[in-house]
Amino acid sequence: MTRMSMKKSPNNIDVQLIMNDKKTGIAYLAGAGPGDPGLVTVKTYNLLKQCDAVVYDYLIPDELITTLPENIEKYYVGKIGGGNSSSQTEINELLLSLARENKTVVRLKGSDPLVFGRGGEEAKYLAQNGINFEIVPGVTAGVSASAYAGIPITDRNHASWVMFVTGHKAKEKLVSSVKWDWIARGEKGTVVIYMGVSQIANIVPDLIENGMKDDTPAAIIERASFPTQKTHISILKDLPQTVIDKKIKAPAIFIIGDVVNSREYINWFGKKPLHGLRILVTRPADQAEMIYLKLRNLGAEVLPYPTIATRENLDREAWSVFNKIDISNNWLIFTSENGVRYFIKQMKDQGKDIRSLSDYKIAVIGEGTKRALAKYYLKPDFIPDKATTSSMAEQFIKEFDLKGLNVIRVRGNLSVTNIDEAVIKAGGNLIPMTVYETYYPVWGDELKEKIKSYPPDIVTFTSGSTVDGLFNCLDSNEINRYIKQAMLVSIGPSTSEVIKSHGLNVTLEAKKHTIPDLINELVEYIKSNPLEG
């Protein structure tokens, strides 16, 4: 049953409120910040991890989406440069539909939802349809752009006021409703213009004709707070030509005022070793947050586009055998962090005591797998000298007598069989236990759109399957256009062989086959062989 009531809005416009007796969900209109994932608020971050569905725009930091749990529904409704992939009406109806399914919905908007973000329109629509909602502020682009460019938008000597204005005309308007003549007469202040790239040639003459000095300091800031942010210093009269000469593209913020001169002293951004380089990380997102953070802290723009993903596989037959084993003097082999993670999870799910593993000898490949074990206070008894399955197979059977012993080989569905074959050849009783499956995710149009607009400078591969996965996510033409020209970085020989098998060249292969070492070696390489980001 639905009840309706009429209520006067503050400006005396009749607003129809629809209140449902039926239980509905809630929508959070949340700001994600302008580009740097680190600028998202704690409240929004927590909501994202706990919601049922996310409805997000083009400029949302990719990490906030790709690292979400798989069970969260994701709806891309991106807009860029005035074009729509979804109309505002469609977005409103989607929010309403999801909330009426009793879902907790995060409407994730770039920057702040109420600063030129149409969040007010969406909130009104939800209110009119009886949907509970909350507004979660975000860091707006005008504030972050100035901070990351080293420009204080207020200064007690030069700017006692700041004005945020939009340079974009609503579609239904022939001319902008902004009073540029009034703004031009202001003194000792700062004007911050959003969405002005296409209109700056019309805005500047208005400002100058109405009294703003044509040599007023000005700045154009592209991609605010992204590591690939670019700041162009100019003066008011030269802004239109600067847009043309520098080929400025949206998103860009214009700052006009004497405060721009302060950048000479307080510019701090862009001094890190990987600054401005776009690095595509192919590792599964649920294992890559540490990589994302390290690369961002080194100044890179991270493209968190996993080419593989994993999901749990419960091998009931193998577990049945495992549970009946006399555990003295037997081996467990882990060849990946995923194997450790899913194996321990399945032990816990079955109510087993992890302390029982102390009676097993454990073999692992690589420092990453060793660290994964350490989280559960387990130490390996054997690590091969080289972090490859062939080294493991050869060295393991050479150093240990496996005859008559049970060897539980914890693995994924795509694991190579050379270790298995070596154990059987050495007389061991092999028990393969497939605890997870690797599969290839499907890249949405929004990811390909971003790669097309901003191709990667560097691509990192941490396994052969991440290489195969890339060729599953992109076709050969896309590989040739966006990947082949990039610097390709491999974690080790096995991965490099897969890269070469696809006809690509490896620029850097890590000498130590761990992710921290791969990143460290990449930094040293770039110092000696700088790339232009």
Q: Which residues are catalytic?
A: 57, 79, 195
Return left, alpha or beta for 373; rule: phi > 0 is left, psi -120 to 50 is alpha, else beta: alpha
Residue 264 corresponds to which tokens in the numbers above?
Answer: 């000479």
Quick one: three-class SS letters along 134-191? EEECCCCHHHHHHHHHCCCCCECCCECEEEEEECCCCCCCCCCCCCHHHHHCCCCEEE
Q: List, in order, residues 6 or more apart from 3 with CB less than 8 Å away.
A: 18, 19, 21
Residue 79 corresponds to which tokens in the numbers above?
Answer: 């807009």
Q: Which long-range contacts (CB under 8 A, 24 or more apart) does 127-131 make?
A: 127/15, 127/17, 128/15, 128/16, 128/17, 128/18, 129/18, 129/96, 130/2, 130/17, 130/18, 130/19, 130/20, 130/24, 131/24, 131/25, 131/26, 131/27, 131/95, 131/96, 131/99, 131/100
In DSSP terms, which residues pair with 192 in a beta bridge? 164, 255
Cβ(292)–Cβ(274) below 8 Å: no
Per-position DSSP letters for 434-480, written without gaps between them: EEEEEEPPPPPHHHHHHHHHS--SEEEESSHHHHHHHHHHS-HHHII
Q: Helices (DSSP H) in 225-288: which residue ranges?
A: 239-245, 263-266
Q: What share of the chain is helix, strand, coil (3-state, %, to 5)?
A: 40, 25, 40
Cβ(61)–Cβ(35) below 8 Å: yes
Full strand arrangement of the beta sheet holding 508-509: 301-304, 278-281, 458-461, 487-490, 508-509
Residue 318 corresponds to which tokens in the numbers above?
Answer: 């193998």
For the chain, what is the total number of helices (H) and then of strands (E)? 20, 24
Residue 494 corresponds to which tokens in the numbers above?
Answer: 């096995």
Q: List, in order, residues 6 or more apart from 248 with CB less than 8 Å away.
A: 197, 220, 222, 232, 242
Full strand arrangement of the beta sheet holding 189-194: 161-166, 189-194, 252-256, 217-222, 230-235
d(Cα 476, Cα 293) in Å, to the nearest integer? 30
Count Cβ atoms within 10 A of the Cβ of residue 438 and give its class: 0-12 exposed, 13-18 middle, 19 or more buried.
Answer: buried
